Amino acid sequence: MITRREFLKQSGLLATAWCLPLGAPNALVPGVEDESREVVPRPSITASSIANFVDPLPIPPLARPVDERPDPFDQGRRIAYYRIEMSEIFAKLHRDLPPARLWAYNGTSPGPMFEARKGSPLLVEWVNALPKAHLFAVDHHIHGAEASKPNVRAVVHLHGAKVRPDSDGDPEDWYVPGKSRTSYYPNGQDAAMLWYHDHALGITRLNVYAGLFGAYIVRDEAERALNLPSGKYEVPLILCDRKIDSRGQLFYPASPMFHAPWISEFYGTAVLVNGKLLPYLAVEPRQYRFRVVNVSNSRFFSLSLSNQEPFTQIGSDQGLMRSPLMVTPVIVAPAERADLVLDFAAHQGKQIVLSDVSGSLMQFRVDNSRAANSVALPATLRRIKPLPPKSAIRTRTLTLDQYNDPAGKVMRMLLNGTHWDMPITERPVLGSIEMWRFVNLTPDPHPIHLHLVRFQILERREFDVAAYQKSKEVHFTGPPMRPDPNEAGWKDTVRCPPKTITRIIARFEGFTGRYVWHCHVLEHEDNEMMRPYEVLAGPSPARKRPGAKRR
């Protein structure tokens, strides 16, 4: 029997200073028998309870178009058409475990990897062929996941992509099994590693946890000219933490504190890399490029190598940085990406472990072949023009909040004190530059993500939270801090530390219409730490014409 304290620790609840009574009722939702809703969880596999590095690292298959279709926005041109089906599968997470029940895109989790070329649009029909019952308990207290809604709903969002609102995967655009929806991805953006994942309102954390995520790489000429390691020397590393029981099944813990299976954050005890637990990758003694994305619900990874060598980081969320940087550890918050170059040339016959503070993630096994000559990376990877703060036509101050529901049952995480359903308050004008200041009033860091746009981080600065709560006035308690060197490129997700105001600047370009911004801790996002925003059309040139008559 597990103690309450151990349980809280395992579910990550002890680590966070939630202002909730520990004696809160422990009851479950009535009528719930499913094992995934147990208050007392199954013990979860850890790196020390299972053989390490026995499975080769899986490489997600490449997505292949099934057809061509006319480009809906450019008559006369035909573009690639993909059809990707979401379904339930069974797949082994480890050699010594029975196959796990997962949700997958085209039969694999992670789903197939897209390779897109800048300027070549493509169409993807996302087919919902999921079963009628959810893999995990759906908490009907969560906004958007009420009992009146179907438990199984899905909608795909391409994270980091500049797409029209109707292809963006708005959380309310979910659809049920048997339905499909086609998205148009223009790929009118610089080379970067994007990723696709489920975004259905109120159950994103469960759908992504079940396995609905995959990589999407945009390539362009500028990047190709740099001759970075490619082909089998360029490897995606898709990281997520999970709880896995002795039968090899994923489970998602229930909250011991509320009348509902919502937990404020999820921390697993095992990490999957490309869908495998503690895999190894056989490598040659040469340079490799690793495209890392953190698809965890809540965990921030802090990556390091067992030989103490730093990583050479060449890119982040929205593509290459100005120049290569030596970094260790590399911190990757949920949804962030890190583009890393590792050179194994001096490590013939060696084994190097990639670790996080939570333990080992995977092993590189360098073979004994002759070491390839290491090519020096270009000193300049990309030109990135800083957006000057004075170019912003507007500054928005937006708080990151956590509250208890008045009924005391469910804690809520909000943005700027507003619920998802309240009228839109952020309406930047197309083409304009704005500064957004995230005022974190909570005791936790939040990775904040904006759809549609890429941005630059200007600074972070500590402030007095209590004073702000009293008077809404900002009293800084520390000096402004520049973003980390590896955050100085184009970003789409920014870590907002507690007691800190984080300032970003973005040009709202691309399309008009409704998008969303949110915390990418999926438990927070699902419980209303997400807001719609709308890009408005600018004044049309006709209306600006001097002397034009008003009627």
Residues 6+ apart with CB under 8 A from 232: none
Any contact of residue 335 with ligand C2O (CB under 6 A)? yes
In the complex, least distance from residue 391 CB atom to ligand C2O, rounded to whole angstroms = 26
Could you tell me the CA-to-CA distances from 467 to 50, 473, 502 in Å, in that order?
49, 7, 17
Q: Per-residue contact track with ligand C2O, 206 to 225, x per CB under 6 A?
A: --------------------
C-beta separation of 216 from 116 below 8 A = yes
Identity of the residue numbered 457: I
Q: Between residues 458 and 519, which has the closer beta carbon with respect to Cu ion?
A: 519
135-174: contacts with Cu ion (CB under 5 A): 159
- From 134, 153, 157, 243, residue interacting with ligand C2O (rule: CB under 6 A): 157
Residue 521, binding choice from ligand C2O, Cu ion, none, Cβ under 5 to 8 Å by partner class: Cu ion
In the complex, least distance from residue 542 CB atom to ligand C2O, rounded to whole angstroms = 35
Alpha-carbon distance of 60 to 111, in angstroms, equals 7
Any contact of residue 243 with ligand C2O (CB under 6 A)? no
Query: Cβ atoms within 10 A of the Cβ of 341, count?
Result: 20
Residue 524, binding choice from Cu ion, ligand C2O, none, Cβ under 5 to 8 Å by partner class: Cu ion
Alpha-carbon distance of 471 to 372, in angstroms, equals 62
In the complex, least distance from residue 423 CB atom to Cu ion, rounded to whole angstroms = 22
Dihedral of alpha carbons 349, 350, 351, 354, sign: negative
Q: Of 409, 453, 462, which Cα lies nearest the Cα of 435?
A: 453
The tally of CA atoms less than 13 A away on the side-chain side of residue 450 is 27
Position closest to ligand C2O via CB: 159
Any contact of residue 159 with ligand C2O (CB under 6 A)? yes
Number of helices and strands in the chain (H, E): 6, 30
Q: Per-residue contact track with ligand C2O, 448 to 487, x per CB under 6 A?
A: -x-x------------------------------------
Residue 518, binding choice from Cu ion, ligand C2O, none, Cβ under 5 to 8 Å by partner class: ligand C2O
In the complex, least distance from residue 137 CB atom to Cu ion, rounded to whole angstroms = 21
Size of the site for ligand C2O (CB under 6 A): 10
Any contact of residue 519 with Cu ion (CB under 5 A)? yes
Any contact of residue 524 with Cu ion (CB under 5 A)? yes
| Dihedral class, residue 53 (left if φ above 0, else alpha if ψ from -120 to 50, else beta) | left
Any contact of residue 521 with Cu ion (CB under 5 A)? yes
Alpha-carbon distance of 214 to 225, in angstroms, equals 26
List of residues contacting ligand C2O (CB under 6 A): 157, 159, 197, 199, 335, 449, 451, 516, 518, 520
